[in-house]
A and B are shown apart, each in its own frame.
Chain A
Amino acid sequence: MPTDTPRHSAHDNTIVLVGHGMVGQRFLEAIAARGLTATHRVVVLCEEPRPAYDRVQLTSYFSGRTPDELSLTDPEFIEQHGIELYVGDPAESVDREAKTVTARSGQTFAYDTLVLATGSFPFVPPVPGKDITGCFVYRTIEDLLAIEEYAKTYAKTGAVVGGGLLGLEAAGALRGLGLDTHVVEFAPRLMPVQVDEGGGAALLRTITGMGLTVHTGVGTQEIIGTQGAVSGMKLSDGQELATDLVVFSAGVRPRDQLARDCGLTVGERGGITVDEQCRTSDPAVYAIGECALASDGRVYGLVAPGYEMAETVAGSIAAEESSFTGADLSTKLKLLGVDVASFGDAHGATPDCLDVVYSDSRSGTYKKLVIGAGGELLGGVLVGDAEAYGVLRPLTGSVPPVSPEQLVLPAGAGAPVAIGPSSLPDSAVICSCHNVTKGTIRGAVTEHSCTTVPEVKKCTKAGTGCGSCVKVLGQLVNDELEASGVEVDKGLCGCFGQTRQELYEIVHTLRITSYRQLLDTHGREAARGTEGCETCKPTVGSIIASLAPTIGADGYVLEGEQAALQDTNDHFLANLQKNGSYSVVPRIPGGEITPDKLIVIGEVARDFGLYTKITGGQRIDMFGARVEQLPLIWTRLVDAGFESGHAYGKSLRTVKSCVGQTWCRYGVQDSVRMAIDLELRYRGLRSPHKLKSAVSGCARECAEAQSKDFGVIATSSGWNLYVGGNGGATPRHADLLAQDLSDAELVRLIDRFLMFYIRTADRLERTSTWLERIEGSLDHVRDVVVHDSLGLCDELEALMADHVAHYRDEWSETINDPERLARFVSFVNAPDVPDPTVSFVPERDQIKPDLPLLTIGSRPRDLEGAASR
């Protein structure tokens, strides 16, 4: 008897999976969840050079997602379950008699169960010239990288053949590459499969408005080449379109060749024929995903039905009752930033059905509901605003609790849509990617004690597919928590039951300029009339400072009662360091500084014996100043033309820049000028947390703008604005908010973004966490600040205009007022005596705090002996 048992003994069954795409990966997760990986040897043959990734989100590469971030596979998962994954080694042939699969590398694997998840390939219409250099398809990361490389070198214009879902994805990719983009669609409208004529028209207007050129009702007749590379295409209406690059995206076809070659039954129009258990004509072989022709006679090109088939096969191997008889084709997508959703009987094919349509060409919104003879909701199309999809899709098949008209009218127009997820039955499927019902989600809260959306996602998998149900998920979790009596206290602190956002609204609306007044009128009952606390004081101080010019408060943060609210940094307009000394950072806008000013900083640091260090934000920090030295230091700095750098405040810190077009041979815009403009515009702006920014002069991104709260990257035709980036402990790449903006558009958009953040963020919440926390995330913020969905933009801009007009330098105001200077002493009763515990020792030709001195602490000391530097 061997003592060392191998993981899989010889008599174990072997499962061979051919194809490691999204559905293949889902199959692996499904067999692992059923414990089958422990009892079976599992071999995976993957054609692509990388394991499974999120193909649905491919275009997000252009908003900063890296191939690694698109990955769906966790190496730990593969290892933990003993899965043998062969990447870049596709299956070449199957011998069904011998039950073996041979891979391209020559390896042969015996199987007991074979699962084909070979997916599909892009259909390229047989037009002359389709193979000329410059013709591409768009399905894999490799396709995308090839298009990117070619576009950068050879192309200014690109054309997509096909205006369906994938075609518009591809068009989004070309636009992301900065190409002048055309879409050629044979049908009379865009997305002919998913949307009807009205929806197609709304989509067309919006997409044309973005600068794309759309040609509908025409076919591609020929790709024209010049010197072996694409130079144009001939359309069926006789038109010739000049283009440097062509992407074919005219649909996909099931990859069934491997099945054909080994004699499995395939459909007339392709697809491996399977039964309700997804079994092929050979009982030992299954087919799942886009390569399978399901028992209802359809080939499904969506990921959700593929996942369902993966679960079916896993269930059937585990001897569970499971079947796949067909799936709902409902989809909700964001194509080129436009919401598009279709569900149920979207085209009104049911006899005697009726439509309810709302169409607004101005805003590019189109909504249609298909209603059956008995008043039941059969399906619908939503373009431009697909907010209601999360509730409408699960209602399909039932009579809605309110009239259909109310369901399509926009919020605020007539009767509001008062339908929420609470009206859904427990059997309603909330997450269709993972087939999770409302009942399961409620159970996660009531039985598994989940209290947050991330916990529920982990517990049920709901919301981890396409993400379109996350909003409804949030509402369900809150409803359930409230119903089970869990009181969620969202209050700022023990003194205020309101959130920071609510306090902001109160201060703004009622023009409250005093903390005490706010506490005594809006604080919790027990806190009224008390001292307040160290949490709400600076928070309210910051809100009052942000709104100062608008509500009529003094813009100087140390005026009157405001002075008592500020943390010590703001109170002394400098940064407190560990031994009680302060550091000083003058503003150096954009990081640009003259030699003369640099010399002044050097002289000041030398004369006061300060430790100097270059900061990450392109400024100079001077450490080791005692409070009574701060006014003297600043008098010299202000005289030389410096002003406060606000390094001490929850406010704009720096706008970093690269040297840009002026000097750099790659630069395409003047990034330094823009950085200076932005830094001077937003200087002194008090916000929920610090704000960092950067401007890069080209896509090489030397200023690291994508790690900033708001980052700007130059393009040949303007500026791209990224928001919500962060470095630090939880790094986050910023999200692209808008592209190719003019100077004025850029500034206006940043104005709105910052003011919306200041208005709605929690205390000490950076833009990165704010963006991920707020309902609707980036999409919502974009709707509000770009599309003005809440009608707030005028007000946000006016608030910023007030800030800009009333900005004054805090340090020059301070040194010119003897009363304000009085606080800058170590001891009230001995203004000329420096604090003896603030002392320094040498290190690397500069100073560092004398920390051993602090450990001596409160022992009575001989003053003269200690007050040295």
Chain B
Amino acid sequence: MSVQLRLKDDWFEVCDRAQLQPGRGIAALLPDGRQAALFIDREGRAYAIDNRDPFTGAAVLSRGLLGAAGGRTFVASPLLKQRFDLETGRCLDDDSVTVETHTVRLA
């Protein structure tokens, strides 16, 4: 089974499902040079957001820890610990900040 990202009209194959460890993320390089951070939670749901941490500019969100609050799954940036909702990309600690999200599927 592979992990795929929706890019425009196509599905972009990133890696094998087994390369994702529940609770942690990995970074993928997209064809246009951008980076995505992919995660899988303990239920097996996959998520993908932009890898860039908007607070520091570093491409590190894939290295954050997953958590849950009020039924929503988030990742906490490993640099300054701001949390981002993995489905909406909204920062839970600063309403004015959002990161881009990607549609992801396991196929």
Contact = CB atoms under 8 A, between A and B. Distances in A.
Partners in one complex: yes
Interface in B27-44: 27-29, 32-35, 38, 41-42
B83 interface: yes
Contacts of B97: none
A576 B24 contact: no
A534 B67 contact: yes
B58 A828 contact: no
Nearest to B63: A568
Among A535, A857, A860: residue with most chain B CB under 10 A:
A857
B73 to A, nearest CB: 6
A480 interface: no
A587 to B, nearest CB: 24
A703 B28 CA distance: 47
A771 to B, nearest CB: 27
Contact of A826 (B15, B21, B27, B100): B27
Interface string A375-404: 000000000000000000000000000000
Nearest to A827: B29
A855 to B, nearest CB: 5
Contact of B24 (A494, A564, A851): A564
Interface string A571-584: 11000101110000
Contacts of A492: none
A836 B58 CA distance: 10
Contacts of B78: 567-568, 576
15 contacts: A527-B68, A532-B68, A533-B69, A564-B21, A564-B22, A564-B66, A576-B63, A576-B78, A580-B58, A580-B59, A826-B27, A828-B27, A837-B59, A856-B57, A858-B50
A828 B15 contact: yes
Contacts of A822: 19
Nearest to B75: A534
Given A516-B42, A531-B23, A534-B83, A858 B65 contact: no
B2 to A, nearest CB: 10
Contact of A534 (B14, B57, B76): B76
A509 interface: no
B68 A860 contact: no
Given A531-B66, A837-B59, A861 B33 contact: yes
B81 A564 contact: no
Given A531-B73, A857-B52, A860-B34, A538 B79 contact: no
B96 interface: no
A565 interface: yes
A516 to B, nearest CB: 7
Contacts of B38: 828
Interface in A531-556: 531-535, 537-538
A854 interface: yes
Contacts of B34: 858, 860
A516 B34 CA distance: 34
Given A494-B69, A531-B66, A533-B67, A833 B29 contact: yes
A530 interface: yes
B10 to A, nearest CB: 15
Top 6 nearest A-B pairs (CB, nearest first) are: A854-B57, A564-B23, A533-B67, A568-B78, A534-B76, A580-B58
Nearest to A865: B33
Given A537-B23, A567-B78, A854-B56, A827 B69 contact: no
Interface string A817-858: 000001000111110010111100000000000010011111
Nearest to A855: B57
B89 interface: no
A769 to B, nearest CB: 20
A851 B56 CA distance: 9
Given A578-B58, A827-B29, A837-B58, A534 B68 contact: no
Interface in B48-64: 50, 52, 54, 56-60, 63-64
Contacts of B91: none
Contacts of B33: 836, 860-863
A531 B60 contact: no
B46 interface: no
A672 B90 CA distance: 53
Nearest to A826: B27
Given A538-B65, A568-B60, A863-B33, A829 B24 contact: no
B26 interface: yes
Interface string A554-572: 0000000101110110011
A823 to B, nearest CB: 8
Contact of B19 (A494, A534, A828, A857): A828
A531 to B, nearest CB: 4
A580 B23 CA distance: 20
Nearest to B5: A829
Given A578-B79, A858-B35, 5 more contacts: A533-B65, A561-B23, A571-B24, A576-B78, A858-B50
B50 to A, nearest CB: 6
A704 B76 CA distance: 37
B35 to A, nearest CB: 7
Given A531-B66, A563-B21, A827 B57 contact: no
Nearest to B20: A828
A18 B66 CA distance: 67
B82 to A, nearest CB: 11
A828 B66 contact: no
A827 B22 CA distance: 18
A567 B27 contact: no
A99 B50 CA distance: 84
Nearest to B45: A531
Contacts of A856: 57
Contacts of A567: 65, 78
Contacts of B32: 860
A534 B64 CA distance: 8
Contacts of B66: 531, 534, 564
Contact of A530 (B35, B54, B60, B68): B68
Interface string A472-500: 00000000000000000000001000000
A855 B35 CA distance: 15
Contacts of B81: 534
A527 B15 CA distance: 31
A827 to B, nearest CB: 4
A576 B23 contact: no
Contacts of A538: 65
A148 to B, nearest CB: 49
Contacts of A836: 33
Contact of A828 (B23, B26, B69): B26
A568 B65 CA distance: 8
Contact of B41 (A531, A568, A860): A531
Contacts of A829: 14-15, 28-29
Contacts of A835: 27, 35, 59
A580 B24 CA distance: 17
A533 B72 CA distance: 11
B46 to A, nearest CB: 13
A835 B41 CA distance: 25
B68 A858 contact: no
Among B35, B38, B57, B73: residue with most chain A CB under 10 A:
B57
A837 B59 CA distance: 7
A507 B83 CA distance: 28
Contact of A578 (B50, B54, B56): B56
